[in-house]
Amino acid sequence: MPTAPGMEWHDEGPAGAARERRFTLVRDGRTVPGVLWTPRQGAGPWPLVLIGHGGSGSKDEGYVVTIGRGLATTHRVAAAAIDGPVHGDRRNDPDATPILVIAQFAQLWAGDGETMTDTMVADWRAVLGTLLELPELRGGPVGWWGVSMGTILGLPLVAADPRISAAVLGLMGLTGPTRARIERDAPRVRCPVLFLVQWDDEMFRREDALALWDALGSSDKRLHAHPGPHGALPSEAFESSVAFLVARLRAPAPG
């Protein structure tokens, strides 16, 4: 199998319409664990969606796997996810409770959130660059899907990397330990954006979420709001956000 330089491939997931491959990438002495979903049928290069999971989850979180497999099987779009800091396979204690994981993430965020953000942005950019060396992904457009922690760490990535041409963000606002960083990066997000809001979010007030949406620099942005608390994002939001990315990643190039 052709492989990208610097990336080690591990076991494949269960047989199905989507091909599922686990990988690790070593960067600056740290191992970045991830998973890649690609269509089994047809020829690439495929568009690629990067998926950032939420706090206390991982690349193996149910909705992350559903999005990744769905993109590959239904839309013939590849998808990739990596574990966030102190999450998933970055941990030495895989049985850690979600409460412990989110508490440790909150500690990191409050302690040196800028460094944590810079590290994750660099990890994602290294993974993206390496994946785009694969023949089935080379030259394809790239999108981002990440809410809550996926926006805390993903919005700076979208702002920094011009290869990302469409993004789904949300469940986050202009608040928290890295508020200044988010406020600085938001105007640099110029690609089309779909921003998701839970109207009764108990973690990020709607006023802060609307302020973040307003700060985004994209001239093509829209906001979808749904009733309910932070963790009650409805299936409709997942479906519409995936459709948003697919439409933009499969659109003909301008000119």
CA distance to 89, 172, 193, 203, 244, per residue, from 129 (Å): 21, 27, 22, 33, 24
pLDDT at 194: 98
Residues of the chain with pLDDT > 90: what percent?
87
Give the pLDDT confidence score for residue 255 in this predicted structure.
45
Residue type present at position 246: V
Fill in the DSSP letter of residue 103. H
The answer, yes or no, to whether residue 165 has pLDDT greater than 50, is yes
For the chain, domain boundaries: 7-249
The token pair at 72 is 């590959």
Please tell me the distance from the alpha carbon of residue 252 to that of residue 92, in angstroms, as a whole number.
Answer: 45
Task: Give per-residue pLDDT as tens, 211-227.
Answer: 999 999 999 999 999 99
Topology at the third CATH level for domain 7-249:
Rossmann fold (3.40.50)
| Residue percentage of the chain with pLDDT more than 70 | 96
Quick one: pLDDT at residue 13?
Answer: 77
What does the pLDDT average to over 47-72?
97
pLDDT tens readout for residues 126-140: 999 999 999 999 988
At 254 the pLDDT is: 53
CA dist., res. 138 & res. 38, Å (int): 13
Report how far apart, in Å, the C-alpha atoms of 100 and of each of 28, 91, 92, 104, 151 are. 26, 12, 13, 6, 21
Are 55 and 105 contacting, i.e. CB atoms less than 8 angstroms apart? yes
Q: How far apart are CA 180 and CA 215, in angstroms?
A: 12
